[in-house]
Structure 1
């Protein structure tokens, strides 16, 4: 198994709940978006998990529609909570 490092960037309420702007997370090269989310959920606790449940995600700036999407050679996952305003 080979590992890959993905930069996870948090925005707005996700950043507040995580307590950081971004972090690098090492996962298996066979990992999915769901696997990465499990890792960051475990690292940041229950409140962060509640925020994460409402978020959408961009994998290298492409919207993730299916959390079973393989990370592959991706370099970044953006965690975007719902935004208000217009």
Structure 2
């Protein structure tokens, strides 16, 4: 008797782009994270933070706002449905 085929894990790719102070804290302008579905903005951030152990980026991210494919995201629990771009924007002075 053969086992039933297992469904392929669905993966979503998120291009995380950092701006201003977030870029300085990350040490890179952008990176790609791959997540199993279902995925959220919080999952993408957690994956990006997991690559670092100095805490700098984690502190900056707490104050950041985010764009998901150019649209403002206010809920870190927002679902990421397809391969997408997540922009990490720290507060900007001046205005």
TM-score, scaled relative to structure 2 = 0.85
Match of 2:34 among 26, 37, 40: 26
User: Which runs of 4 or more aligned residues in structure 1 lie more than 4 Å from their structure 2 counterparts after TM superposition?
Assistant: none
Q: Which residue of 2 aligns with 1:80?
A: 89
- Unmatched 5+ stretches in structure 2: 1-8
Cα separation, 2, equivalents of 1:37 and 1:4? 14
Q: Which residue of 1 aligns with 2:73?
A: 64
Alignment: residue pair count? 86
Match of 1:8 among 10, 16, 23: 16
Larger Rg: 2
Cα separation, 1, equivalents of 2:52 and 2:70? 23
Matched residue SS, 2:51:
helix
Alpha-carbon RMSD across the aligned residues, in angstroms, is 1.0
